[in-house]
Amino acid sequence: MSRRTERINSQLRTEISKMIANEIKDPRISGIVSITRVDTTGDLSSATVYVSVYGTDLEKRNTIKALASATRFIQSELLRRLSIRRTPYLSFRLDESIEEANKIHALLDSLDIPPEEPQQEPSH
């Protein structure tokens, strides 16, 4: 990935996060929503926006639907805010990696494994 693509991914992530927090007033967006990452194609024609939603399955689905219907607004705002000729086509995907990591962490914490005894080296 080029430096330019990385920079644009970072800018898109920041600006879309701001819009979700402050400007998009769709009631279907509920729970805690964060943009975990943005992956833009090499030619910058499209970008996949990964969204983490802390909430029920229904809240997650509704949030993704709301963001999809706000795509035109988001793209027009990005064009205005960023110094790029055209904005990539945006598609939103649910990112459940944080939730999966939390489940694994909780599972590991629930295991009752006694600590290992330190191994003593044989003396000569």
pLDDT in tens, 92-124: 999 987 777 777 888 888 887 777 777 777 666
Residue 69 to residue 56: CA distance in whole angstroms: 20
Instruction: State residue 97's pLDDT score.
Output: 79
Given a contact cutoff of 8 angstroms between Cβ atoms, the answer to whether 44 and 8 are in contact is yes
CA distances from 102 to 33, 56, 94, 113 (A): 16, 15, 16, 19
Instruction: State residue 118's pLDDT score.
Output: 76
Q: Does the reported pTM lie above 0.95? A: no
Distance of CA 66 to the CA centre of its chain: 15
Cα dihedral 31, 75, 16, 38 sign: positive
User: Over the stretch 43-85, which tens digit does the pLDDT of each residue have?
Assistant: 989 999 999 998 899 999 999 999 999 999 999 999 999 988 8
Instruction: State residue 83's pLDDT score.
Output: 83
Average pLDDT on 9-21 reads 95
Q: 103: burial class by Cβ within 10 Å (0-12, 13-18, 19+)?
A: exposed
Three-class SS state of 45? coil
Residue 90 confidence class, pLDDT cut points 50, 70, 90 = very high
Residue 53 to residue 34: CA distance in whole angstroms: 7
* Nearest Cα to Cα of residue 53 among 109, 97, 115, 117: 97
Does 36 or 118 have the greater pLDDT score? 36
Is residue 87 pLDDT above 70, yes or no? yes
Domains of the chain and any CATH numbers:
3-109 (3.30.300.20)
Instruction: State residue 34's pLDDT score.
Output: 92
